[in-house]
Structure 1
Amino acid sequence: MNTISPDATPSSEGFARVTAALQALAHAEPPRWLSASARTAQEAADALGVELGQIAKSVVFRSRADDRAILVIAPGDRRIHEPSLKQLTGPLARADADFVKARTGFSIGGVSPLGFAPAAGLPAPHLYLDRGLFRFALVWAAAGHPNGVFPVRPDDLARLTQAPIVEVCPP
C-alpha cells in the first residue's frame, strides 16, 4: 500500500474530521494517508493496488427541488444511472466545486461519506449507497482529503452512514 509513514501527521481539517467520526462510531480501521493524491477512483485503486470497483467513490448532485446535496456512494467501476437516481430524489442538477464544499465541508476528490461540515445553516447531504459495492468484502472510501482513504466492509459502511441501499449503478 502506498501510505505515508506512521510518524507523519497530515494537516487536513477534513481528514481530522473523518478520523474523529470513525473513532466516534467505533470503526476499527483508521484512515490512511496516501503519499500521492487520489482524486479519482482510478488513482485511488492504483495507489492501493485494488480493483477499481473497490473504490467507494462519492458523487454529489444538487436537488432542484430544495437545493440540498445528494451524495451517492458508488463503485468506482460503475456510472450512476441518473434517471434511476431521479426516481428516488426528483430532479437533479450537477454540483460544482463551491456547492460541494459548502454542502459537505470537503473538496471534490476527498468527499467522505461521513464527517460532514456543511456551511452554517445548511443541512448535511442526503446519502445513498449503491448495492454494487456489496460485490466486495472490503471497499475504500475517501477520508476528507484527496490523499485520505479508509477501508470498510460494505455492511459497515451502510451501518456507519445509515444510507439507504439502492440500485442506481447498473453493471
Structure 2
Amino acid sequence: MSLSPDLLARIRDASAHHGGPRAAMLEALRMIQQEHGWVSDAHLAEAAQTLGVGLAEIESLATFYSLIFRQPVGETVILLCDGVSCWLNGAEEVRDALMARLGIGFGQTTADGKYTLINIACVGGCDRAPAAVVGRDRRLVGPLSPEGVAELLEGGL
C-alpha cells in the first residue's frame, strides 16, 4: 500500500516547514505511523524518495526510535514503564498480570490483533507508578495493579 497523495504533500510541506529534508524525517515517520499504524519498508522507501534522502539514513532514524513501529502493532498499544519508580512500586507484578491475561510477551501482539505490549524505559508518570501509556491517544494510566489489569484492558482506567 503506497502513501496517499495527501500524505506525500504533507511530508513535502514538513520538509519546507522544518528546515529541510533531514530535519523533517522524524516528522514524516510520525505522520506515516499516525495514518497507517506503523512504518513499512515500502512506506520508508517512499518517504526517503519524497524527501530526497537516502533510504539507509531514514531507516537508521526509524530503527533508533522505539516509538516508531517497524512492524504491525495491535489496535491498542500498551507501553508499560520499566523505570525505577515503576519497578519499585510493583511494575513486575503488573507486567506478569498483563502477560498472563494477554498471553503474549513484550514486543508481541495478541492473535486477534487487539493488543501489543511494549516495555519502555520511562513514560513520565512517576507520580502514578506503576504506569503505562495506552492507545493511539497515548493516555497515561496509573497507578496500575495486577488486580486492575482487566479494567485497563476493558478501557476503564
Same fold (TM over 0.5): no
More strand, by proportion: 1
What TM bracket, shorter-length normalisation? Answer: under 0.3
- TM-score, with structure 2 as normaliser: 0.27
| TM-score using structure 1 length | 0.26
**Greater helix proportion:** 2
